[in-house]
């Protein structure tokens, strides 16, 4: 009897996500990781950093490293436009900005409509993907931002800032 109650509670669990687009794909991240969403700011390039690190920004007196999520996910570089946003997140106690093509919306979806990702999804390394949300008319790729950066890459970001 307890098992049935737990299963029922799990299926009713809601995920709160910030959804955003990169190319034609829609991604989502846990809203609790997101501190804020900003329009593009002046980015200062940093020498000798990996290609996916755009540079650093000054956000209210704090120097924050910014990376291009497109490049990190193996997609081609794109010029920033009026829809481009920087999603500022907290990862492992550090504040980092991720550049995305556009932020779509804040979603609340039942955990029951998500499933584990296939081994390889559209060329994006599935290690970053926690699950795929099956919405009525589209799929939403849920990312684990903490897994997007290896320990070495995270250390490079810390050094850049």
Segment 17-39, tens digit of pLDDT: 999 999 999 999 999 999 999 99
Delimit the domains of the chain by residue range.
Answer: 13-160
pLDDT band at 133 (very low <50, low <70, confident <90, very high): very high
pTM of the model: 0.84
Fold (topology level) of 13-160: OB fold (Dihydrolipoamide Acetyltransferase, E2P) (2.40.50)
Q: How far apart are the first and last CA of the chain?
A: 53
pLDDT band at 12 (very low <50, low <70, confident <90, very high): confident
Percentage of residues in the chain having pLDDT higher than 70: 84
pLDDT of residue 3: 42
Residue 8 has pLDDT above 90, yes or no: no
DSSP string, 11-53: HHPEEEEEEEEETTEEEEEEGGGEEEEEE----B--TT--TTE
Segment 55-80, tens digit of pLDDT: 999 999 999 999 999 998 888 999 99
Q: Which two tokens mark 144?
A: 């684990």
pLDDT of residue 94: 87
Report the Cα 126 to chain-centroid distance in Å: 13
Q: Which two tokens mark 11?
A: 């299926």
């Amino acid at each position: 009897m307890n098992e049935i109650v737990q299963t029922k509670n799990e299926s009713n669990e809601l995920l709160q996500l910030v959804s955003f687009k990169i190319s034609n794909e829609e991604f989502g991240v846990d809203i609790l990781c997101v501190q804020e969403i900003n329009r593009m700011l002046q980015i200062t390039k940093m020498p000798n950093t990996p290609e996916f690190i755009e540079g650093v920004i000054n956000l209210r007196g704090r120097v924050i490293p910014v990376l291009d999520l497109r490049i990190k996910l193996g997609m081609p570089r794109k010029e920033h436009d009026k829809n481009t946003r920087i999603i500022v997140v907290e990862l492992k106690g550090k504040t980092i900005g991720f550049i995305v093509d556009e932020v779509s919306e804040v979603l609340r979806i039942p955990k029951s409509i998500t499933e584990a990702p296939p081994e390889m999804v559209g060329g994006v390394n599935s290690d970053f993907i926690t699950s795929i949300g099956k919405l009525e008319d589209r799929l939403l790729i849920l990312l684990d931002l903490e897994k997007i950066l290896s320990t070495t890459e995270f250390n490079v970001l810390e050094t850049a800032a």
